[in-house]
Chain A
């Protein structure tokens, strides 16, 4: 069964304290892994797509990396405005249809 597990569930950091969020996945034939940011009471906002092991993508203070079993979202010198829930999703084939399977998210809080 295709599964996505994110850790930790919640993370509190001080402003400027770098860290990483983990997304472990089990999927037969990865066709894409996606990172989203979700603010409270809002829909997810697309951040990155990664397609193959070894691929990396960066955007401001965020950098996403991918291996054959997991992806990391590295946050460098975060600011309070980076506080949000970060969701990971994988593209999977379920009953013949392409779908996104989401992890439960990591709630990130950056204290000033």
Chain B
């Protein structure tokens, strides 16, 4: 099946620093990539949708200046959490979709961010 990778898998940073998370589709070209956030024992909440070469579309309540998304190529999207604070600690999951159908969406393994 299609493979999506994320790097790093875990990151611990100090409050006020910025953290970049990479999401790559390894064996397909992704027309669309998504970024989700998941708190413990809670569901996935969509943060933003990005298409290669265009600006990301953020969900209501997600600060675009805080969560910078860059989708530079058909296989790479990055999420930068700027000036991170402890409340940003969460599990961030990306997904990549190669077609229009939602069953062509594959999820990455997630990145655990801990802000001290």
A residues contacting B by CB (< 8 A) are: 32, 34, 36, 41-46, 49, 87, 89, 91, 97-100, 102-105, 107
Binding site for A on B (CB under 8 A): 4, 6, 41-46, 49, 57, 91, 93, 95, 102-103, 105-110, 112
What chain A residues lie within 8 Å of B44 (beta carbons)? Answer: 44, 87, 89, 102
Of the candidates A34, A45, A99, A104, which one forms a contact with B42 in the assembled complex, judged by CB atoms under 8 Å apart? A104
State the main secondary structure of chain A at its contact with B.
strand
Interface of B is mostly: strand
Q: Which residues of B contact A87 (CB under 8 A)?
A: 43-44
Residues of A within 8 A of B6 (CB): 43
Contact A42 B110 (CB under 8 A): yes
In the complex formed, the residue of B with least CB distance to A90 is B102
- Given contacts A32-B103, A87-B43, A105-B43, 15 further A-B pairs with CB under 8 A are A34-B102, A41-B91, A41-B112, A42-B109, A43-B4, A43-B93, A43-B95, A43-B108, A43-B110, A46-B103, A49-B102, A91-B102, A98-B102, A105-B41, A107-B41
Tell whether A99 pairs with B112 under 8 Å between CB atoms, given A43-B93, A44-B107, A91-B102.
Answer: no
CA distance A98 to B7 in the complex (A): 27
Of all chain A residues, which has the CB nearest B91? A41
Across the interface, B43 reaches (CB within 8 A) one of A42, A46, A49, A103, namely: A103
